[in-house]
């Protein structure tokens, strides 16, 4: 049995709800969004029964970016659930839109369980990104220096 863990991320806290393949809630937890968030969540998830787990993070490119990248770096399987999809699951599943963190996290988990083809979160190579930014900065600095030198030579001719 694969456990699906839905996460509703916020600036201060993250709420996680684990469900089984029949959408039964196994457990839920709310953790502080700080340095120990990853360890706390992984320790909590390891106590759950199952053959494996899939982490479903709502808006993994937004508020859930750091957590989803941390989970991916740990070798966990992480999928990105769009907020609109999670909202539809919440409204259609219950007939009402009770918006609270555990309901949102459960909706994220159900959406990941039932929706095929969700985007899998890939670990980004931050070193490569920083190299590209540094290279572009050097190029821009070189162009600025070149423009200043040309301007100086024109001003010297005007004397």
- Which pLDDT tens digit goes with each residue over 30-78? 999 999 999 999 999 999 877 789 999 999 988 999 899 999 989 999 9
CA distance 35 to 56: 20
Residue with tokens 């993070």: 57
What is the model's pLDDT at position 97? 58
C-alpha angle with apex 91: 85 to 97, nearest 5 degrees? 120
Residue range 115-141: average pLDDT?
86
Instruction: Kindly calculate the radius of gyration of the chain based on its CA atoms and give it in whole angstroms.
Output: 23
10 Å Cβ neighbour count for 115?
A: 16
pLDDT tens-digit series, residues 70-91: 999 899 999 999 999 888 888 7
């Amino acid at each position: 049995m694969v456990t699906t863990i839905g996460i509703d991320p916020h600036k201060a806290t993250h709420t996680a709800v684990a469900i089984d393949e029949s959408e039964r809630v196994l457990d839920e937890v709310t953790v502080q969004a700080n340095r120990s968030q990853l360890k706390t969540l992984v320790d909590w998830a390891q106590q759950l029964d199952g053959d494996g787990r899939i982490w479903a993070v709502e808006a993994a490119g937004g508020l859930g970016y750091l957590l989803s990248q941390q989970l991916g770096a740990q070798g966990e399987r992480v999928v990105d659930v769009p907020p609109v999809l999670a909202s539809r699951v919440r409204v259609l599943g219950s007939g009402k839109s009770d918006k609270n963190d555990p309901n949102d996290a459960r909706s994220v988990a159900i959406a990941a369980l039932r929706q095929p083809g969700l985007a899998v979160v890939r670990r980004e190579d931050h070193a490569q990104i920083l190299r590209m930014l540094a290279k572009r900065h050097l190029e821009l600095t070189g162009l600025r220096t070149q423009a200043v030198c040309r301007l100086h030579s024109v001003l010297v001719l005007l004397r």
